[in-house]
Structure 1
């Protein structure tokens, strides 16, 4: 485990004030024992020219084992965040193999996409990304995802009013966010690392710190049929959190014809991915 030891050394060298100990192991019984929060980042990364579909069968078995280990060894109130791609379907696999753990304990990460969308809106409008609220991601963490600005605000103004460019919102904005991961791979030769790690921290933080009033965040969670997404799929929705690891899908948001079409495309991809790994569920 030399590479893992290298990670351990770097964590020690960061001297984080809340870090009190590190255990390195490739034994799931040890690694997941009494874990309250599991960040599942261990999947084969997408390389240059590789399609997401190529990863599904290679990474699926990893999450079968991790799901079973979480079921058998993690803490009773465990929360699981799947980061390793394809994260929606990997989350579905892990959830299906943790039979005794409630489904709502499992989430996957589209916070990176939300952060990317906020950055693009800020750059276009001349605002700071901290002024962007309620831009959300629907669907899959893939090139079919739908970054939705319709309910977003920038500095308290509707995003569309602040940007004043509907053609950009319906075209380059969406495609830039959808293809950002591929653009980073093309530029640096490897997949997103620093931004993904930061987003994972954001995701974990929002699970244990309640979303502010009238604010929501993007979480990939098991669908209950909301917004026409078939039950059982792990899809990104606008959500609120209670600060105790619980989440709720925001209800009652208007979804127009444009948004409906985009969400349906991503939902279809999620259903196709589920079919590919049906034997692992």
Structure 2
């Protein structure tokens, strides 16, 4: 599987909520880990949507403990959305330790499980565990931050949540932003590739992306298909962007087939070195 990190934003939101509750309710002594069901939706950008509508602390609704309903939109959301910029302006550098800690948090939960606790992860719309779960109007080929639960092997989106009209508008704002970012780099790819679950013929090949970090390439001959290569997305993306890319493992036939496919992305892709089991590529 493939995920991107919005855990830093998630952790910042939890900390802001805990600070606010403790400032207005003496003796509660709330720690960020006491807060459940808080979510970061969308892109890792100032348009992200920190959502407290489902959040609870020790069984109580967070919204019942906040000083005023307007605090969420007037202070909390802006603080979480702009926190990175605020730190850079104040300290003259990014908050690398916080980002590193958030990375550890995300990988720990992904590898060991979140103990049925919601965490925020940017994931590609669907994986096999999330079939039939509402995507909340988000295109399933976008990498978008959702509430997920992890079990130590995979992630599953939390489905069936009620969205306010404002919340839905925030999700759609993020969808449009991510689509715009995707469209900005399409010309770098040399061709369009469908990162969905459908088969798409490209120059006699069939491409299939399973929602994880691999792209399977199949050749159609007569009435049958056979797999000729399975590449890491980093290899494909590196070739598309004209950078040196890594080693692809397989037999010589697989290597030659994969090279032909990568030339669809970037005609300048050439061999640097090859042997019976692997080959290394670069783009001139």
* Class of the TM-score when normalised by the shorter of the 2 chains: 0.5 to 0.7
Contact 2:42 2:174 in 1 (8 A): yes
Does structure 1 residue 272 correspond to structure 2 residue 175? no
- SS of the residue 1:238 aligns to: strand
The residue aligned with 2:168 is 260
The 8 Å contact of residues 138 and 236 in structure 1, kept in 2 or not, is answered as yes
**Larger RCO (CA within 8 A; separation ≥ 6):** 1
Q: CA RMSD in A?
A: 1.3
C-alpha separation between the residues in 1 aligned to 2:20 and 2:164? 23
Whichever structure has more strand as a proportion of its residues is: 2
Say if 2:121 is the partner of 1:219: yes
Matches of 1:279 and 1:241, distance apart in 2: 35
Alpha-carbon distance between aligned partners in 2 of 1:157 and 1:142, rounded to the nearest angstrom: 30
Aligned residue for 2:93? 190
2:35/2:58 contact within 8 Å kept: yes
Number of equivalent positions: 175
Q: Which residue of 2 aligns with 1:54?
A: none
Cα offsets for 1:97-144 (capped at 9, x unmatched)? xxxxxxxx1100000000000001001100221211121100001100
| SS of the residue 1:275 aligns to | helix
Conservation of the 8 A alpha-carbon contact between 2:42 and 2:145: yes
Q: Tell me whether 1:137 sits opposite 2:40 in the alignment.
A: yes
2:138 paired with 1:229? yes
Structure (1/2) with the larger helix percentage: 1
Does the CA-based 8 Å contact 2:41-2:50 persist in structure 1?
Answer: yes
TM-score scaled by structure 1?
Answer: 0.60
Is contact 1:218–1:238 with CA below 8 Å preserved after alignment? yes
Partner of 2:110: 207
Contact 2:148 2:155 in 1 (8 A): yes
Instruction: Return 5+ residue gaps in structure 1 as ranges.
Output: 1-104
1:146 maps to which residue?
A: 49
**Deviation sequence 1:22-74 (CA, Å, 0-9, x none):** xxxxxxxxxxxxxxxxxxxxxxxxxxxxxxxxxxxxxxxxxxxxxxxxxxxxx
Counterpart-to-counterpart distance in 2, 1:195 and 1:265: 27
Question: For the residues of structure 1 that align with 2:141 and 2:185, how far apart are their CA atoms?
Answer: 14
1:279 Cα deviation (Å)? 3.0
Please, which moves more after superposition, 219-228 or 106-115? 219-228
Larger Rg: 2
| CA deviation profile, 1:67-101 (whole Å, cap 9, x unmatched) | xxxxxxxxxxxxxxxxxxxxxxxxxxxxxxxxxxx
User: For structure 1, which segment, 195-204 or 255-264, has the greater mean C-alpha deviation from structure 2 after superposition?
Assistant: 255-264
Unaligned 5+ segments in structure 2 are 23-29, 127-133, 190-284
CA distance in 1, matches of 2:43, 2:124: 12
Distance across 1 between alignment mates of 2:137 and 2:188:
25
| 1:239 aligned residue (138, 148, 160) | 148
